[in-house]
Amino acid sequence: MLILRRIIFYLFLLIYLILCPALLLYASGYIIDPFTREVERTGLIHLSSLPPGATIYLEHSRFIRKTPATIDQLRPGSYRVTLTLPGYREWTQAVRVKPGKAAAFEKVLLLPQYFPVQTPIQGNFKQIYPLPGTDFILVAQDNYLGSIQLYNFKNERAAPFLDPVSPWYKFPVLSLSHQENSRSFMVYGGGLWERKYLWVTLKGDAPAIVDITRFFSKDPLLIEWDPLNTKELFAVYSNYIDRVDIASGLVYPRDIDAVKGVGFHNNRVYLMTADNRFLRYGRDKTKAEPFLESSHFARPLLDTNIFYHITAPDDDSLFLQGEDGSLLANHPPYQIMEKGVIGMKFHERSRTLMYWTSSSVMLADIDETMTANINALAVKTIFGEGQDIKQCFWSGDAFHIVCNDNDRVYLIETEPQGSDHNEFITQIRKGSSIFFSNEAGDLYFLDEQGGFQKIQLIPKESVVDQLLNKGA
């Protein structure tokens, strides 16, 4: 009997000595490979979705929990994760699990199979003109000023832009330019032998229209203005700038001389001089100061024959977009692209620069490059097979980008943990524009028949919070 007890004791001791370390290793994220018998550290995948409650498949196996959920104790390697939810498109992602690391996919947006479509304004339209930073979209039925409807997407009301008795009602529109956050915009058009520039400011129920053609001795390269100042604009020529005081009707010729770049931010004017120096000053021009004097900016990269649009989101960052399609920054590697850039937008909260050519959309992590002090920008191509990319919009959370490519709208999900998702949303009228409100998550566009349409592409942040709490 004593021998039997000893056998049982040593048997339990042996089991304890074997299982206890194994359990401790397992709890600490380690497993023992059954083939090599080597200890291997595991990783995990975390998933949350909008809306929550999606079924999770790891390879071909269904996971017991639904989103939000964490799949742990995964051996290092590649896995295919799929989320499914009735009425929504399937979401699939190739995931690389690394030892001791977590691959997190937060707020995966599950798109409905069919978007509910609203028609804010009845009619057949040719073009829309977004006015980003305001509450308005201009929706044009034809190519003259009086055909425009002024749509306020905050209160969802539309009204004719002009009264039929207005002298500008039949004015032919060739182009319309706007600065973000400005309640004014520039209209260029008129007859073949009498082109005009109209300065339009949205005031109350009726716009204020001023013919400013007389202020320009010749056609400017471009016209810039401070979005917060509707009474003054700058006519940019090859190497100088005329300042126009619209309120007084005065022109200040060569107000800024020997200049090859200009931009506005936070009530300041930013200038690039002909000798590649940078200045900034307030509206009153009494406190001009050098800017980035101590920066090792690669000034030899700056073409003396190119005019640059300056974007200065803060005191440490500066971007130059040249009229030749070049894009430069004030930190290594300085030259982001030599040519081909159509547009750029800087997302201040995430510190990420988005820029695009006719065929690709790229993201650059500015802080990562500056912190690491490296000579290669951390660039990621998130959409690389475009045909004719014209517009791109950030979402408020910087997790998504809305893109107008060759009259097709795509929603791009920027995934730091894996490949990006490019989802086709809708076809739009040939040659027309789109507008995306990142506050409401709404997409406005003209369908192929010219109908003015609206769909909610991304839930509002308040709705997102409710969904996340519901799924917690």
Domains in the chain, CATH or no CATH each? 1-41 (no CATH), 45-115 (2.60.40.1120), 343-456 (2.120.10.30)
The answer on pLDDT for 215 being more than 60 is yes
Name the DSSP class of 8: H
Retrieve residue 313's tokens. 């989101």
Q: What's residue 127's pLDDT?
A: 96
User: Residues 6 or more apart from 469 whose CB is under 8 A from it?
Assistant: none
Characterize 221-235 residue by residue with b for buried, 16 or more Cβ atoms within 10 angstroms of its Cβ, and e for exposed. Answer: eebbbbbeebeebbb
**Of 439, 197, 171, whose CA–CA distance to 161 is shortest?**
171
Q: What's residue 26's pLDDT?
A: 46
Query: What is the pTM (predicted TM-score) of this model?
Result: 0.85
The answer on pLDDT for 89 being more than 90 is yes
Q: What is the pLDDT of residues 244-274, one digit of tens each?
A: 999 888 999 988 888 888 887 777 788 888 8
- The pLDDT of 377-400, averaged and rounded, is 87
The answer on pLDDT for 295 being more than 80 is no
The answer on pLDDT for 442 being more than 70 is yes
Alpha-carbon distance 76 to 23, whole Å? 19
- The pLDDT of 360-383, averaged and rounded, is 71
The upper half-sphere exposure of residue 399, i.e. CA atoms within 13 Å in the direction of its Cβ, equals 15
Q: What is the pLDDT of residues 118-127, one digit of tens each?
A: 999 999 999 9
Residue 416 — pLDDT band, cuts 50, 70, 90?
low
